[in-house]
Amino acid sequence: MTYALAVESARTGYGDAQVIENASLAVGQGEVFALLGKNGAGKTTLLRTIMGLHPLWSGSISVCGKNVTGWKTSRIAGLGLAYAPQERSFFPDLSVDENLRLGSLRVSDETYRRRRERVITYFPYIGSRLRQRTGSLSGGEQSMLKVARALVAEPDLVLLDEVSEGLQPLAVDRVKMCLSAERERGVSILLVEQNIDFVSGLAQRYALMGSGRVVGTGDVQDAHAAARIVAHLSI
């Protein structure tokens, strides 16, 4: 399998406190890969490290076949990597359209408009509020916007951190439909989640993370996968 992302023996932390220890995972081209674990397992720290937002102490990270260990975030993003963080990192006084544009700054206005029109077909509600102040959107609406902002860059690989959190069931279904369509387009997705229902039918493979380690991997369609995941999240 050709990998869009490969993390090998990653180790990092904050100050003298180790958070990630010997973590390894690989996301195939055009694959949705779910990284599951409870709060505090180290999932967000691992995503931030992949994006170059947090230093890697040891190990290696490769994106699209290139070793990006030690690269700056902007250089990593230039390989076609986008990131939707768990927090809603918007400029609240800017419009929805202006915040979307921040996800695709390196292209012409014409290219941006084409990309925007494609993305808002997934989220018509966002498309109808392009001129609205972003800070006036509800939490669920901002969650959809952060997915749209990541995808408007037309990435080859996207990292999504808890995108189903706080969403109403209909919105969860729409995000799931959106990500399925992106997978069909060949986009690779690393999906950090705690919601097993969201992962089911969307991801092909999964890894379980606990105490900074990847403690198990498997096929989502395996007959025993759901039981393993539920047991891990319940510990």
Q: What are 34-46's pLDDT values in tens digits?
A: 999 999 999 999 9
Domain residue spans of the chain: 3-88+150-234
Rg (C-alpha) for the chain, rounded Å, is 17
* Spacing of C-alpha 181 from chain mean position: 15
CATH (one of 3.30.1490.440, 3.40.50.300, 3.40.367.20, 3.30.450.20) for 3-88+150-234: 3.40.50.300
| Spatial CA neighbour of 142 closest among 117, 159, 167, 120 | 167
- Strands of the 213-219 sheet, one edge to the other: 81-84, 157-161, 188-193, 32-36, 205-210, 213-219
Residue 139 CA to residue 146 CA, distance in Å, equals 11
Beta-strand relationship, 157-161 and 81-84: parallel
Torsion, Cα 120 122 124 129, to 10 degrees, reads: -40
pLDDT at 1 over 70: no
pLDDT digits (tens, 9 = 90+) for 114-139: 999 999 999 998 999 999 999 999 88
Q: What is the mean pLDDT of the chain?
A: 92
Torsion, Cα 211 53 155 142, to 10 degrees, reads: 80
pLDDT at 86 over 90: no
Confidence of residue 100 (pLDDT cuts 50, 70, 90): very high
Residue 190 CA to residue 35 CA, distance in Å, equals 7
Q: CA triplet 177, 108, 144: central angle to 5 degrees?
A: 25
Q: At what angle do helices 169-184 and 139-151 cross, to 10 degrees?
A: 0
Residue 232 CA to residue 235 CA, distance in Å, equals 6
pLDDT digits (tens, 9 = 90+) for 47-83: 999 999 999 999 999 999 999 999 999 999 999 999 9
Q: Model-level pTM?
A: 0.93
Share of the chain above pLDDT 90, in %: 75
Confidence of residue 21 (pLDDT cuts 50, 70, 90): very high
Task: Name the one residue in this structure whose structure tokens are 């993003």.
Answer: 77
The pLDDT value recorded for residue 114 is 94
- Strands of the 17-28 sheet, one edge to the other: 17-28, 3-14, 58-63, 66-67
Confidence of residue 201 (pLDDT cuts 50, 70, 90): confident
Contact between residue 178 and residue 151 where contact means Cβ atoms under 8 Å apart:
yes
